[in-house]
Structure 1
């Protein structure tokens, strides 16, 4: 025990040394700097007034024209019609005529530290790799990221605190410490290749309860469980062992005892129903095997369970193989590293993926997911926003979130309804009342778009600037 404790203290010490430049802080009361995996950012020294902008506040059904937003420090002070706000004499005025202001995007289901280039494994759970991803999310206008498991303590805990600090660079970070899977089952060891310290795989109720207590002691934001046989709609695929009901029941009960909510990875309606019945708080993926029924809808609404579709997860399986022309898209290029570029350009790789049974099943999964999302949305079920980005090389941070918005609109939502899920609703799922809305008192996290997303959701790809905590931190996404 002594050796283990000393090792843990040593790791924590190394993590803090690595993170010394990440938290940044405020230097001389003016500038906060980050030095790992990203550029340096300057905190605004005086109040800022963004004027003459089209505004989507994250909640309204319509946009407001010729609006102004006053920012002081990290917060929004007031919002109103241009020319009607009282501003300090030293205010810096920025004319955003013709542009649209939306809240920073929030993902409720992503992952960090699993992927680097085309590799997936425990060796990628490092500060530089994670910081690079958080910086990329931010460039795409995703200002808050939830890493839903497969993390390593204490590094993740230290980094999460650092990202919450004033002056931090890259997207703010929340998430799940480790998570709870199945011996020999999900998440699949041969594919994910994470270390044993990044996932609990309890075989007994006692082990499951202890895993939850450990996660609680690390101040996890949520508890994550995987309940899936990993066939992904491919009938010829050999199923993996699925978590036993007594294990997930024990996890949910102990998590609630620790005042923690449980997010459940599922694929099939049957497991979704059973987990909602057992008290799961969040269904972390859309139902993709069959249409949702009235019993599921009623249970979701009666229990107030959240639902995260993650439609782009399955689309990413085949998108780059079947549409090689997408490699010319500057929005994709903004987040595409050289290793992925080489892989996507390989005709043999594209042929292998496009002709696979998983690609065919993934097409069916996307269609079913979209159908179920629209049914649940219209029924009044609480819908969040996520993509599973960062869990596999093809699920590209930032780009995946933009694809998700496109797919939500293809499913039948209006562009502003889709953006509401990715802003105020995503914040509500995380119980974060300080963001996701452009309103007085909220965090000054927002995105400036060149075009109007209400007319075409593709406007989200035309990022002119990203603001995080009252400072302009990125943009444009695509050089003009």
Structure 2
């Protein structure tokens, strides 16, 4: 559901060729913490970079920003720059929209620990700042959110200090079932666990009244070890979400559950199918109903990849994302040996292989794809870095770099109903990532971050370890 606000009003002003004055932008700008400026902000011109348009890179371009919006985009030299504009030369660089994660988490982790005590304004502000540092300018915290979330969402849904915060409130799971809150250190379990259809509807009504962007459901027995949310309950929750204009997203693992949820009207499959290959019936149902699919490949890879210690773990871009406590764990020879020898690592490798195979099939069939990683749910799911690794994994499943970037920008904006984000075009919010290298030549070049712009203001430079 899209909630109308002043920032989504049509922008009908334009910059006329030869104009020497800054036009007044009749749009409310700023965020919950900052009032609108008393005088119009200056025009900023980003000159000479190649621009990702959702399909390919333009030649050298001119991008004109006014306030928090993109005012004009055109080939270099085609737009006359206002005399008082601030001009920044980005010749030889590439500009992409800010990345949008439709499945992440905040407030669960500190260092190598998880717990509800970490769901604080200060910790979440730090995590959102870290996302923004890595060019992830919007995240959707998909469940596990206690009551403080509702306040933070109102304050940080337009957050210049870090990524914008959207989310699903606590979410709905089975009594004594997934998500296993105690196993995640979340002793004061905030997840709604209705036993009846009416209780599920009441839980959704409460979340909708408090303010959420979608409703999260967990439908997973965790390999048969836990009770599973019943069809009667999840069907009622999905229906009630739709009554309130909200999309419903489901955590799944198995194909059987994914099929049943699609039949029940789910809007988003929030993890990849990882128990067996998807079949044509599932693919056709996904297409016919327009269901979104977020593979979250990095979720399982994170259970073993750091013990293998690939070369990129020694690069500053990775090390800057890792807390000292987590880095100490990764550096432990004993931890690495035990992790690689564990049954969990073997199972995770199989899950990744199936996830990649299923993503390939769904992509080739034209199923709608969203972007997410489950970053922030557990210590090894590393906010910021996980999103860049996910882009690389998506290309391993057969997406081109341009297709992977489109999923992580324009398409994920559409999944979240954000009509003015995810693209570099007039009227869109100026959330931009400036890269030193061409990501369409090698998707790993998204890691060559030169600058990050949030709502028309540069907020970050290069990523470097502290």
Q: Give your verdict on TM over 0.5.
A: yes
State the match for 2:276 in structure 1: 290
> CA 1:369 to 1:296, structure 2 compared with 1: closer, same or farther past 3 Å?
same
Distance 1:28 1:93 in 2: 21
Q: 1:78 aligns with which of 72, 97, 100?
A: 72
Alignment of 1:69-468 (within 5 A): 69-153=63-147, 155-165=148-158, 168-196=160-188, 198-231=190-223, 239-323=225-309, 325-468=311-454
Q: Is the 8 A contact 1:320 1:326 kept in 2?
A: no
Deviations 1:378-425 (A, max 9, x none): 111100000000000000000000110010111111111100000000
Q: Distance in 1 between matches of 2:311 and 2:356?
A: 24
Q: Which runs of 4+ in 1 moved over 3 A?
A: 26-30, 324-327
> How far off is 1:26 after superposition?
3.8
Separation in 2, partners of 1:289, 1:415: 27
Task: From the superposition, tell whether residues 197 and 240 of structure 1 become closer, same or farther in structure 2 (CA, over 3 Å).
Answer: closer
- List runs of 5+ in structure 2 lacking aligned partners: 1-30
Q: Distance in 1 between matches of 2:428 and 2:189?
A: 36
Distance 1:477 1:29, change over 3 A: farther
When residues 479 and 118 of structure 1 are mapped into structure 2, their CA distance, relative to the original with a 3 A threshold, is closer
1:265-318 residue CA offsets vs partner (Å, 9 max, x unmatched) = 001111000000011110000111111111001110111100001001011010
**Alignment partner, residue 5 of structure 2:** none
Write the distance in 2 (CA, Å) between the matches of 1:265 and 1:401.
19
Kept in 1: contact 2:317–2:465 (CA 8 A): no
Q: 1:360, 1:262 → 2: CA distance?
A: 32
Task: Indicate if the aligned counterparts of 1:111 and 1:389 stay in contact, CA closer than 8 A.
Answer: yes
SS in 2 for 1:213: helix
Alpha-carbon displacement from aligned partner over 1:189-209 (angstroms, at most 9, x marks no partner):
232232546211112222211
Deviation at 1:254, TM superposition (A): 1.5
CA deviation profile, 1:243-278 (whole Å, cap 9, x unmatched) = 111111111122122221110000111100000001
**How far apart are the structure 1 equivalents of 2:64 and 2:173?**
46
Residue 45 of structure 2 corresponds to 49
State the Cα distance separating 1:87 from its structure 2 match: 2.5
**Aligned pairs, number:** 437
Q: Quick check: which one's helix share is greater?
A: 1
SS of the aligned residue for 2:138 comes to: strand
TM-score (normalizing by structure 1)? 0.88
Alignment RMSD, CA only? 1.8
On the 8 A contact 1:462/1:478 being kept in 2, the answer is no
Q: CA deviation at 1:227?
A: 0.4
| Post-superposition CA distance 1:354-395 (Å, at most 9, x none) | 111111111111111111111111111100000000000000
d(CA) in 2 for partners of 1:264 and 1:47?
Answer: 43
Separation in structure 2 between the aligned mates of residue 327 and residue 425 of structure 1, nearest angstrom: 29
TM-score (norm 2): 0.91
Displacement after TM superposition at 1:100 (Å): 0.3
| Contact 2:160-2:455 within 8 A present in 1 as well | no
